[in-house]
Amino acid sequence: MDERRSGPDRETDGDSAGGISRRAALASAVGVTVSTSGCLRQARSIINRDDIEPLSLTITTLPADGDRESIRLAREIAATLEAVGIDVSIEMRANEEFLRAVLINHDFDLCVGRHPGGTDPDFLYETLHSLYADEAGWQNPFGFTNLLVDDLLEAQRDADGDERREAVTSMLEALAIEQPFVPICTPLEQRLVRDDRFDGWSAGHLATRTGYLGLEPQTDDSAEQLRAVHMDARPSQNLNPLNAEYRDRGTFTDLLYDSLAADRIDAAGNRSLEPWLADDWEWTDESTLVVSLRPDCQFHDEKPLTADDVAFTYRLLEDTALGDSTSPTPPPRYRGRVTAIDEIDIRDETTLEITVVTGQEVGEQALTVPILPEHRWAERAAAATVPGVRVAQGTTDAVVTNNLPPVGSGPFQYHDHAEREHVTFERFDDHFTLREGVDLPEPTVDTIRIGIDPRSTSAMQLIEANDADVTSSPLESYVIDDVEETDAVRLLESPTWTFYLLGFNARSAPFGNPRFRQVIAQLIDKAWLVEEVFHGYATPVATPVTDEWTPDDLAWDGDDPVSPFLGSGGDVDVEAARTAFEEAGFRYDADGNLRVRQ
């Protein structure tokens, strides 16, 4: 900071000040003050105004070995923003560091990545409701606040049937205008599988637990072990179902932990919510759900699983400190689902009465959280401590533990792991799916070994060489045309509910301004990016929900129906973009830089 002085430095002593008496100096100063007061007011008016500076921002994303499509999207978006007068830098972070920066620390301007989405549009409630703007986790990482949108998010929760569909449409139309984030595309999920080792790959979606259950081994050797190759090392480092940095969709933790209900999806995209750990449930009135557990279930350490564990789980997911902190400390996952529940009463060891504060459709989504053993997790309600490190207030062991070895009640139990090499599960022989009379997909192999290989090309080679049975991660789009299918090896295409996005940190200017976000949305040529970045193996979208929930007026029709691209063929019309920013209330300087108040 520059220092400004009214005159040269002088040493003074006694009553003199450079030959002028102190009394004379004071009298003189009064006169000067009066005569210059108008100038001072004008000066203060000038210097106390924040300057409007050229916009400079950072896009946070993943490197090529973490998500090749994300970094390519970020580079293309950065080039477009640079063309319209915005200074852009790109910051690449590894998977867990990227999620920690965006979800936990909210340390980003813009972010580009893949959002796990949801099969039900209620995932948008926790993603965008202003109640969660200051929380850490998947709940509103963008810091988006809009009371009208809050009302619409709540309205779709409270409704059922056709009324809910109308409420979802209203919510999506508002989001298309507000653009709290820009949904870019939904990628086609392509995996490589070996048909000579297993049959039944299409019976369940390989992003869910049932994709790995009910498979039919074709040889004695395949019955011993299902060999998956995964292009993300995080499952070999952390198996905590509550941890946001190490979980995306939680496919493998769902094999370790049962939920009351299972979201069953097949390879064709057909979906149903069915009883899982719950033997059945019944709505006794509009807001009361009676859940009956399957009898004689137990955890992997042979401790019984009872209604107490279920009630404990929902208490922990509401507040991981279990009331011992100055304020509730919810986990960074499952926030929206748990808030559907108002009260749980335990009738007996296998029966619970659950009161919900939402409609029944959203209330049943609350049954899909992992059930945790109280005797293992109660002690994790303690505040997390790391010697020599300052831990954020409200952080509990439940959120930060790596949970190795994990103890759940799922169809598979933990066997061993080596970080960045593999994690291996073995069949839990006491699982209820193996009982007579239970018509659910069951574990049909002795073990599942999830090997880690970070590249699609080498993962493909493992399948082709018969050293692996399935790529549990979807293949990156650039390798799909190189796949040579045979009688033994084929590509399995599955629908997805995930989507790529450009996210804004609305906590900072100008990203909190919806007019700014609207213009940015019009600078993204989604159709061109699908061809250029995804080689055609994705679908451009205007809204972040599945086709089942997308209203006709928001369906992709060759261009974004709300935010059409200002240009063609991937090239932005710079003059049109400048005009759009100026009409939105922004201005440019003589050098063509977009200037904003920051």
Enter the pTM of the model: 0.90
Q: Where are the beta strands (DSSP E) in 253-391?
A: 261-265, 271-275, 278-285, 288-293, 341-348, 351-356
> Locate tokens 């059945």: which residue?
280
pLDDT in tens, 419-438: 999 999 999 999 999 999 99
* Of 100, 147, 115, 150, residue with least CA distance to 129: 150
Give the helix ranges, DSSP H, for 59-180.
64-83, 95-99, 123-128, 147-158, 161-178
Contact 180, 506 (CB under 8 A): yes
Residue 218 token pair:
């074709």
Inter-residue contact 562 to 576 (CB < 8 Å): no
- Total residues found in the chain within this entry: 598
Architecture of domain 190-231+411-494: 3-Layer(aba) Sandwich (3.40)
Closest CA to 550 of 170, 169, 180, 176: 169
Give the C-alpha separation, 86 to 577, whole Å.
12
In three state form, how does the secondary structure of 395-461 look? CEHHHHCCCCCCCCCCCEEEEEEECCCEEEEEECCCCHHHCCCCCCCCCCCCEEEEEECCCHHHHHH
CA atoms of 446 and 429, how far apart (whole Å): 9
Instruction: Identify the pLDDT of residue 157.
Output: 98
Q: What is d(CA 222, CA 176) in angstroms, rounded to the nearest whole number?
A: 48
For residue 6, the model assigns a pLDDT of: 37
pLDDT for 143 equals 98
Strand, helix or coil at 21?
strand
Please give the pLDDT value at position 35: 46
Per domain, the residue ranges of the chain are 16-47, 53-187+497-597, 190-231+411-494, 240-410
Q: What is the pLDDT of residue 389?
A: 62
DSSP state of 234: G
Class in CATH terms, 53-187+497-597: alpha beta
Q: Which residues of the chain have pLDDT under 50?
A: 1-36, 43-44, 46-48
**Which tens digits make up the pLDDT trace of 248-287?**
889 999 999 999 999 999 877 889 999 999 999 999 999 9
- The pLDDT value recorded for residue 25 is 41
Q: Which residue's entry shows tokens 């250029």?
A: 532
H or E stretch at 254: helix 251-256
Fold of 240-410: Dipeptide-binding Protein; domain 1 (3.90.76)
